[in-house]
Amino acid sequence: MSDHITSIVIVGARGRMGKALIREVIASDHHVLLGAVDRSGGPGRGQDAGRIAGSVEVGVLVTDDLEPRRGNVVIDFSLPLATEANVRRCVAAGAPLVLGTTGLTAATRALLDEASREIAIVSDANFSVGVALLTRLAGLAARALGDTWDAELIEIHHKHKRDAPSGTALRLAKTVAKSTGRSLAEVLRTDRGDATRPREDGEIGVAAIRGGDSVGEHTLLFLADGERLELSHRAHDRAIFARGALRAARWVEAQPPGLYNMADVLGLGAL
């Protein structure tokens, strides 16, 4: 790894992921924290970012104003409502963006597309290396098994998570659909509460379970008569997402404008 130090600005600094990111930056020899931003009001504003993350003082205070400079990489794990304004600030400053926020609207996705003509953006619903590989394996398995095996997904997350199903589950379902020539919009089933008929051939069901402190679990099941294949990933610590985002930050600095994901960062290429 080169000696270059990547300058990081974290958005959503007081959140669960923001704090994990701050701790990982402090522990890293290859990143330095230049800014920590969270929404106005609430506890922690004006306090040292290292301290609110339960670590050592770093001399960076939490502010409510995102003002990146060229040469900074912004890492945003906050709320979908905040994303559009943050993307515009990154474009104005020419700062690359690592975006982990999930539950983005179609309008925000369109803005990301537009912004990626001017800056490099890595946007992914899951920055874990294991999940990037799981997604690749899901595509390979779906392609090999075809749509005669029933594909179903179960995801589990902590009770505070706002969006359901998770962005990761939807992407896995999309990968399975795409790999077998189906359109996810046509075959996705997220609610069987009112089902009055058996499972239809080709549908892809996603069940979201919420509770406790689960950091994130995804199991993709391929079911056939007489056998079942399961591909699972369990996150035990949200530090894995923070480490993945820091890896993406170092990678994105050197990229031309474009919209990338974790598979690009890891060099997995398109399926």
Q: Which residues bind ligand NAD (CB under 6 A)?
A: 11-12, 14-18, 37-39, 42, 77-79, 82, 100-103, 124-127, 238, 241
Residue of 157, 174, 218, 233 marked catalytic: 157
3-state secondary structure of 159: coil
CB of 261 to ligand NAD, least distance (A): 10
Nearest residue to ligand NAD by CB is 15
Closer residue to ligand NAD (CB): 30 or 39: 39
Range 127-137 burial, b when 16+ CB lie within 10 A, else e: bbbebbbbbbe
Which helix (H) or strand (E) segment holds residue 7: the answer is strand 6-11
Closer residue to ligand NAD (CB): 136 or 143: 136
3-state secondary structure of 17: helix
Closer residue to ligand NAD (CB): 3 or 213: 213
Measured CA to CA, the distance from residue 27 to residue 22 in angstroms comes to 9
Q: In 3D, which of 77, 84, 103 has the Cα closest to residue 14?
A: 77
CB of 65 to ligand NAD, least distance (A): 9
Q: Is 161 a catalytic residue?
A: yes
CB of 34 to ligand NAD, least distance (A): 16
Closer residue to ligand NAD (CB): 16 or 178: 16
CB of 38 to ligand NAD, least distance (A): 4
Q: Is 236 a catalytic residue?
A: no
- Residues 18, 43 contacting (CB under 8 angstroms): no
Measured CA to CA, the distance from residue 211 to residue 230 in angstroms comes to 22
Active site residues: 157, 161
